[in-house]
């Protein structure tokens, strides 16, 4: 009698029972009995939703960084004595900050001061000019940090909307893929993701003449011309360039109502609340502009110090606008603007059609394989067909437990697995037929068939598994889905062919003790 140890029998039975338990819930819409709750997640192409390809404008990050350092350079040269004099001003040109017209006897002192600003700065002199730039490694690190921060902010914003199981990942060096299965309002998500949401507070320059700025383009030093967009008209404001409080200090923002009008209430952290209280205390009866993405949301008058670390944002908002504004403020500001390069929307009807087509393809493939196996190998073909059912159950169980997402290419991988799953059984059964024709007894033929076919089975399946792993490693999106189901199918088919069908054959041999094989 061929040897099949008890531990192998126990493992085979346990794995099969586990596979059936975790695969059954996928065929019911509601929870049933004691079965596990985990189910296979459907991808974008099966349940509908939106696919966005976003590009992070990292050059804006570098530009903002250089503008910030321009102010730092100006303060460093002016605040300590002796003051460094420069006749040509300080300008940002691309990724360079150029200090023009530095006196010859002050160049060394200026150079020493500027080297203390940041260790990643490269400072060179050219005539009477000093050129300040970041090293290539520093610029590359800042670009990558901007991508990572953008992914995190996008993830928080999408999660806030209640989208389940979104896929958010980097593609290439400056792009982000966002897939949101089951989403019903893709336009709202696009608006949320397209908003940088940089919230800053600036004091309004009360002494500046707005008409002069509009007509002659002359602004007081250290000021900005911004607009409040009221849809009907754009109201101009001249605000001080200095940011008195940043939105980075916000810890909460909620949509609310005041006097029947929708508003957004916000709250700072301890440091932000302290700064906000100090600013409002020192500037009573002055206007404080609330600026979101370089647009003035409102510019209320500070009537009294605000010491609680909280405040409100008012404006001509709808209820939905306050909800969305509170959401993006809670999620945080994007480090750089996002541009939508590609957009695809899949309707749930199309996804249902794909599922239906996948079911039909799987069913037809399954029936064809079963008919072929039974017609070719009789009882042994029937055993292989039972193993094929367990094989499919194991694939769905693995997808459920691992939280994998099933896509249309994934269904193609399952259909391919149905055909490949019996390949190992065909090799074994053909070897058994050959051994039986050579005059071996049934037990000897079966034992020899399994032993001699094992090497071929391992070689063929391992090479296919290597190809699937390479597809998963180097592929993206649909290719990964195909590789996942194909890999799981290979592993489960090897198990069912080598362990399960062998167990079924051993049980049959021990009970029937046949004198010849029905094959």
CA distance 451 to 4: 13
Among candidate residues 81, 106, 135, the one where a domain is terminated: 135
Residue 76 lies in a domain: yes
Question: Which secondary-structure segment (H or E) carries 493?
Answer: helix 478-495
* 38 shares its domain with 70: no
φ and ψ of 92, to 5 deg:
-100, 125
Position 296 in a domain: no
**For 432-447, what is the HEC assignment?**
HHHHHHCCCCHHHHHH
Helix (H) or strand (E) segment spanning residue 107: helix 107-114
Identify whether residues 409 and 504 lie together within a single domain. yes
Per-residue pLDDT at 408: 78
Alpha-carbon dihedral 111, 112, 118, 122, rounded to 10 degrees: 40
Give the domain extent around 409. 6-46+349-512
Could you tell me if 436 and 399 lie in one domain? yes
CA nearest neighbour of 397 among 25, 8, 42, 43: 25
> Could you tell me if 394 and 436 lie in one domain?
yes
Q: Is residue 65 part of a domain?
A: yes
Q: How far apart are CA 224 and CA 217, in angstroms?
A: 11
Pairing of strands 405-406, 41-42: parallel
At 481, which CATH number?
A: 1.20.1640.10
Residue 249 within a domain:
no
Residue 188: φ, ψ to 5°: -65, -40
Q: Which of 135, 165, 185 is the last residue of a domain?
A: 135
- In this structure, the answer to whether residues 23 and 106 fall within a common structural domain is no
- From 359, 505, 370, 494, select the one nearest 421 (Cα to Cα): 494
452 and 373 share one domain: yes
- What confidence score (pLDDT) does residue 466 get? 92
Q: Are residues 86 and 37 in the same domain?
A: no
pLDDT along the chain (519 residues), means of 10: 76 90 80 73 75 87 78 75 78 82 80 77 81 83 86 85 78 86 78 81 87 82 81 81 82 86 86 87 89 85 84 81 83 82 74 76 85 89 90 89 79 81 85 85 85 85 90 78 86 87 87 79
Going across the sheet that includes 175-181, the strands are 167-171, 175-181, 49-56, 338-346
SS3 308: coil
CB 298 within 8 A of CB 313: yes
Q: Is 95 a domain residue?
A: yes
What single string gives the DSSP state of each residue in 82-101? Answer: SPPPEEEEEEEETTEEEEEE
Number of domains making up the chain: 2
Is residue 277 within 8 Å of 270, Cβ to Cβ?
no
Question: Which of 135, 157, 190 represents a domain boundary (last residue)?
Answer: 135
Q: What number of CA atoms fall less than 13 Å from residue 250's CA on the CB side?
A: 25
Phi, psi of 340, deg, nearest 5? -85, 110
Q: Are 451 and 2 within 8 A, CB to CB?
A: no
Indicate if 31 and 95 belong to the same structural domain.
Answer: no
**DSSP string covering 458-486, please?**
HHHHHHHHHHHHHHHHH--THHHHHHHHH
Cβ proximity of 385 and 372 under 8 Å: no
- Same domain? For 418 and 485 the reply is yes
Task: Indicate whether 464 and 404 sit together in one domain.
Answer: yes
Do 72 and 132 contact (CB within 8 A), yes or no? Answer: no
In a domain, 482, yes or no: yes
SS3 call for 31: coil
Say yes or no: 28 and 122 in one domain. Answer: no
Kindly give, in sequence order, each residue whose CB lies less than 8 Å from that of residue 362, ignoring residues fewer than 6 positions away.
411, 414, 415, 418
Task: Give pLDDT, residue 1.
Answer: 45
Helices (H), ranges, 115-261: 136-160, 186-194, 210-216
Cβ 83 vs Cβ 121: under 8 Å: no
SS (H, E, C) 238-289: EEECCCCEEHHHEEEEEEEEECCEEEEEEEECHHHHHHHHHHHHHCCCCEEE
CATH number of the domain to which 90 belongs? 3.30.1360
Is residue 360 included in any domain, yes or no? yes
* Same-domain pairing of 381 and 481: yes
- Asked whether the CA dihedral 71, 72, 75, 76 is positive or negative, the reply is negative
**Is 304 part of a structural domain of the chain?**
no
402-406's contacts with Cβ under 8 Å and 24+ in sequence apart are 403/38, 403/41, 404/40, 404/41, 404/484, 405/41, 405/42, 405/43, 405/165, 405/167, 405/181, 405/481, 406/40, 406/41, 406/42, 406/43, 406/46, 406/481, 406/485
């Amino acid at each position: 009698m061929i040897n099949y140890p008890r531990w192998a029998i126990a493992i085979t039975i346990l794995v099969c029972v586990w596979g059936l338990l975790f695969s059954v819930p996928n065929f019911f819409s509601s929870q049933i009995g004691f079965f596990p709750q985990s189910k296979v997640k459907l991808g974008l192409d099966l349940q509908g939703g939106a696919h966005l390809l976003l590009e992070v404008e990292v050059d804006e990050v570098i530009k903002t960084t250089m503008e910030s350092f321009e102010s730092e350079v100006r303060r460093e040269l002016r605040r300590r004595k002796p003051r460094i004099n420069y006749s040509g001003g300080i300008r940002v040109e691309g990724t360079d900050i150029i200090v023009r017209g530095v006196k010859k006897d002050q160049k060394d002192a200026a150079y020493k001061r500027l080297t203390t600003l940041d260790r990643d700065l490269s400072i060179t002199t050219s005539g009477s000019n000093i050129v300040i730039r970041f090293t290539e490694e520093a610029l590359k690190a800042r670009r990558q940090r901007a991508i990572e921060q953008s992914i995190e902010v996008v993830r928080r914003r999408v999660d806030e909307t209640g989208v389940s199981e979104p896929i958010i990942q980097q593609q290439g060096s400056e792009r982000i893929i966002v897939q949101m299965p089951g989403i019903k309002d893709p336009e709202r998500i696009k608006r949320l993701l397209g908003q940088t949401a940089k919230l800053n507070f600036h004091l309004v320059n009360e002494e500046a003449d707005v008409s002069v700025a509009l007509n002659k383009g002359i602004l007081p030093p250290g000021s900005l011309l911004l607009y409040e967009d009221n849809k009907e008209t754009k109201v101009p404001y001249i605000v001080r360039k200095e940011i008195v409080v940043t939105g980075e200090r916000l810890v909460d923002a909620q949509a609310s109502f005041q006097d029947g009008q929708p508003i957004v209430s916000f709250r700072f952290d301890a440091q932000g609340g302290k700064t906000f209280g100090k600013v409002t205390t020192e500037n009573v009866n002055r206007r404080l502009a609330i600026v979101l993405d370089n647009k003035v949301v409102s510019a209320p008058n500070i009537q009294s110090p605000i010491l609680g670390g909280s405040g409100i944002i008012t404006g001509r908002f709808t209820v939905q606008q306050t909800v969305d504004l509170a959401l993006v403020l809670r999620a945080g500001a994007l480090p750089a603007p996002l541009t939508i390069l590609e957009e695809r929307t899949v309707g749930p009807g199309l996804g249902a059609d794909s599922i239906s087509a996948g079911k039909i393809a799987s069913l037809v493939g399954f029936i064809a394989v079963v008919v072929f196996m039974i017609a070719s190998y009789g009882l042994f073909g029937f055993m292989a067909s039972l193993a094929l059912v367990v094989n499919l159950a194991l694939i769905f169980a693995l997808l459920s437990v691992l939280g994998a997402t099933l896509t249309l290419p994934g269904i193609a991988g399952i259909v391919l697995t149905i055909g490949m799953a019996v390949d190992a059984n065909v090799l074994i059964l053909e070897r058994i037929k050959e051994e039986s024709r050579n005059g071996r007894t049934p037990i000897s033929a079966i034992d020899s068939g399994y032993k001699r076919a094992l090497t071929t089975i391992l070689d063929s399946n391992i090479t296919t598994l290597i190809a699937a792993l390479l597809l998963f490693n180097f592929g993206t999106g649909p290719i990964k889905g195909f590789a996942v189901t194909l890999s799981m199918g290979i592993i489960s088919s090897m198990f069912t062919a080598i362990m399960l069908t062998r167990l079924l054959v051993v049980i049959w041999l021990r009970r029937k003790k046949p004198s010849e094989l029905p094959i």
